[in-house]
Amino acid sequence: MSLANLVNTAIDIVIYLIVARSIISFVPHDPHKPIFRFIYETTEPLLKPFRRFSIGGGGFGIDFSPLIAIFLLQVVVKPVLFYLIGLLWRIG
């Protein structure tokens, strides 16, 4: 597996975890179960910086942080990482 494929797969897994977190936020669940703790602990560092972009409040707000994080991963992080990998490939 090439470095580019590994990076792409890792970013895709993070995106799937963000989507899973968004979905489970709508259904009752036990946040202390290991799978839910893993999802929350893995995605929270990515989502926390974008929490200020929420609309509303009082438990009925709309949190756009998952959409913003996925957008940035797809549109900014992936292309930059692939560019850097390409540079490393040409240099090496």
Q: Is the pLDDT of residue 79 over 60?
A: yes
Percent of the chain with pLDDT over 70: 92
- Please report which confidence band the pLDDT of residue 57 belongs to, taking 50, 70 and 90 as the band edges: low
Query: Which pTM was predicted?
Result: 0.82
pLDDT at 59: 61
pLDDT in tens, 19-28: 999 999 889 9
Report residue 55: phi and psi, to 5°. Answer: -115, 135
CA distances (Å), 40 to each of 4, 29, 79, 89, in order?
26, 12, 26, 35
In 3D space, the residue among 79, 51, 56, 81 whose CA is nearest the CA of residue 67 turns out to be: 51
The mean pLDDT of the chain is 87
